[in-house]
Amino acid sequence: MKKELLLASALVSTMGVASVAEAVTATMSGSHKTGIKGTDTDAAGDGSMSHLVESSFSVSLSETTDGGIGIASSFMLANEGTTGTQSAGLTLTFTDGSKLDVMNAGNAAKTHDVSVPGGAGDAGVTITSTNNAQTGLDFFGEATAYGVEWHSAADFIADGLKVGASISVDDGVAAAATVALESGWGVGATYVTSAGDTSVTIGAGYADSQWKDNGTDPSSNSNGFHIGFSAVTGDLTVAAGYASGDKVKTQPDTEMASATVAKVGVKYVAGDITLSVGHTAGEAKDSTTFGTAGTTVDAKDVTDAGISYAVASGVTANIGWQNADSKDEGASETSGGTSWYVGAAMSF
């Protein structure tokens, strides 16, 4: 028994030394949001209030080889109140500053869309699911988990230019009653320059994703482009963007929507206070038959405003407001309305 205890002790000791010597660098991060959201739709009846709570906790792992190549990945331990936990693939960082994402890489077009200021917190109106108008600049450009995305180093070819490209392949899932994503690719670029005291960022991207229907060959694709700019002068940021393309929607029904999105926003930072306002206009013509264009317009017009106050390091108080108007198949409908939010966000 004594020999067994000594052997076990030696084994544990050896494993401990090995784990310390070979351990990668691990960092932890997370966030927690809590607040009250109020919504008053255009339908008859009183408005409603709800308590929103979202928490996340993730771990990032990284190490550098003797040759100077960085290897990184991450995983999420908890993501409560949103869409569940997420795991990243591998990111390889090379000595020239370029990077390669392997597995769960995403689409390069989405990497280079410009951020347009809007509201604060989680104010929002839930529009009816049959309205296929889009509100994001990256509504197209899906990708499977089996792909890679390459990011150039800074100042690629020209000062201030970064580019990227991605490709993903079939995940082997057959389409049954609905469609399934087969493959996707995308390209994107971001250019940063200055005009006097103003820093200007221009972002653009193009993407295409192939879909298959009922297990057959690809029946249609989701593709499009976006372009946008952001101008920062001191504490003032002005940004705008435009996107156009086709979107395959799988729920609640399989549909193809030809959509456009236009966004504009302004943000001003005054000490610990950030004021922001934005407007989005999205339109789409949808059809349940692939290859056949829709004839009536779905539309979403959304205005957001917000005030954020940095209470302490990692703690932000948010007040947000949103107004949304909705048209489904060319007719106004009552799922639009107004929403407000008051809450706090904490991060580490």
Specify the pLDDT at position 8.
40
Specify the pLDDT at position 186.
96
pTM here?
A: 0.83
Name beta bridge partners: 298: 284
Domain 31-55+111-347 has CATH 2.40.160.10: yes
Specify the pLDDT at position 82.
56
Specify the pLDDT at position 178.
65
Specify the pLDDT at position 295.
77
C-alpha–C-alpha distance, residues 271 and 262, integer Å:
30
C-alpha–C-alpha distance, residues 189 and 161, integer Å:
7
Which residue stretches of the chain have pLDDT < 70? 1-22, 79-86, 173-178, 214-220, 250-255, 288-293
How is 47-100 classified by DSSP, letter by letter? Answer: -EEEEEEEEEEEEEEEEE-TTS-EEEEEEEEEEETTT---B--EEEE-TTS-EE
Specify the pLDDT at position 96.
93
